[in-house]
Amino acid sequence: MSKWLAALIMSVSLPLFAAETPSYGPQLQGFEYPYPAQNFAFDSQGEQVQMGYMDIKPSHASNGRTVVLLHGKNFCGATWGGTIKPLSDAGYRMIAPDQIGFCRSSKPEHYRYTFEQLAQNTNALLTHLGIDHVIVLGHSMGGMLATRFALMYPQQVDQLVLVNPIGLEDWKAKGVPALTFEQWYARDLKTNADSIRKYQQATYYANEWRPEFDHWVDMQAGMYNGKGREEVAHASAQTYEMIFNQPVFYAFENLKMPTLLMIGQKDNTAIAKDLAPEALRKTLGNYPELGKAVAKRIPHATLVELDTLGHAPQIQDPEHFNKALIDGLLD
């Protein structure tokens, strides 16, 4: 095979690289959100912090329901942009926060990250906005947070929606090696646009790539390419520790509200899977099996399987995802 032909094949099979990675501040300064972004200032763990959020009203007649959109580990409130308009058109109000430690929100150096704390922060925002009943929709890490929120505030949650949540298995209990904070931090400092793009293609989009996906690579990579990269990596390492060491896996039976479980069947996400022995690694992140198993454990669960989609179905195929979501939501 000629070098020219080999290069042509590679150009077809791999995504094109963005011309240049942007540089954003540690609170995503410089990145434009799809809807007006606001800030909620409050005291937490003895210091003043700021939580960024979007509050989007129904574009037509309201159905009286509010959906709280909880982002994943490497996502932000902005990544719900393709979901917000269809829900707004269907009469829902939406609140899309950036959790403390993520995206537009504060990243306190000595913050003690727990899912309970993030749930309390989210509830404080809802109280500030005068909202006492919600549909909680969580994706990826946001699914773990949504589960914890629903367990802590069951009287406020009319419906729980979990979109390719992580935490459907306990990686540490299965034998994935635990990392120290320093090890997580060192790994995070190596993050760049190339590593993000490769991971997203293999995990989020089932080895598919389209030019619009680069927008989300830039969002994440831009924070690591800016002057606050150490602050961003520090918060990221802290929240990786939270995810790895605070499973919600053992609490699914305690969810009493109607639960919609939406699973892209091509997902293979498992935290620190690359560190696991090969034999174990092959068994991790099997979402077709994990989704079915967890759906059986949640008392009032409805499982929707998205056959061709990966870890981020709301981005990979918004039309398909939004239709399935709206069909499954309380109206």
- pLDDT score of 250 more than 90: yes
Q: Is residue 13 part of a domain?
A: no
| Mean pLDDT of all residues in 98-116 | 98
Quote the radius of gyration of the chain (alpha carbons, Å): 19
Q: Is residue 45 part of a domain?
A: yes
Q: What's residue 99's pLDDT? A: 98
Q: Is residue 154 part of a domain?
A: yes
Q: Please count the structural domains in the chain.
A: 1
| Mean pLDDT of all residues in 203-227 | 97
Q: What's residue 18's pLDDT? A: 46
Q: Is residue 2 part of a domain?
A: no
Q: Is residue 43 part of a domain?
A: yes
CATH code of 229's domain: 3.40.50.1820
Burial class (CB in 10 A: 0-12, 13-18, 19+), 211: exposed
Range of the domain at 261: 26-328
Q: What's residue 270's pLDDT? A: 97
| Mean pLDDT of all residues in 221-226 | 96
Rounded to the nearest 5°, which phi and psi values hold at 93?
-90, 145
For every residue of 140-177, DSSP letters joined together read: THHHHHHHHHHHH-GGGEEEEEEES-S-SS-HHHHTPP
- CA atoms lying within 13 Å on the CB side of residue 277: 5
pLDDT, tens only, 167-209:
999 999 999 999 999 999 999 999 999 999 999 999 999 999 9
pLDDT over 70 percentage in the chain: 94
Q: Provide the whole-model pTM.
A: 0.94
pLDDT, tens only, 22-33:
999 999 999 999
- Report residue 35's pLDDT band, with 50, 70 and 90 as the boundaries: very high
- pLDDT score of 288 more than 50: yes
| Mean pLDDT of all residues in 238-243 | 98
pLDDT, tens only, 125-134:
999 999 999 9
- pLDDT score of 5 more than 70: no
| Mean pLDDT of all residues in 241-261 | 98
- Whether 168 and 311 have beta carbons less than 8 Å apart is answered as no
Q: Is residue 10 part of a domain?
A: no
Q: What's residue 331's pLDDT? A: 81
- Report residue 19's pLDDT band, with 50, 70 and 90 as the boundaries: low
The mean pLDDT of the chain is 94
Q: Which among 141, 34, 45 is positioned nearest to 79, based on CA atoms?
A: 34
Q: Which among 244, 142, 193, 191 is positioned nearest to 19, based on CA atoms?
A: 193
Q: Is residue 74 part of a domain?
A: yes
| Mean pLDDT of all residues in 94-99 | 98
- Whether 95 and 129 have beta carbons less than 8 Å apart is answered as yes
Q: Is residue 19 part of a domain?
A: no
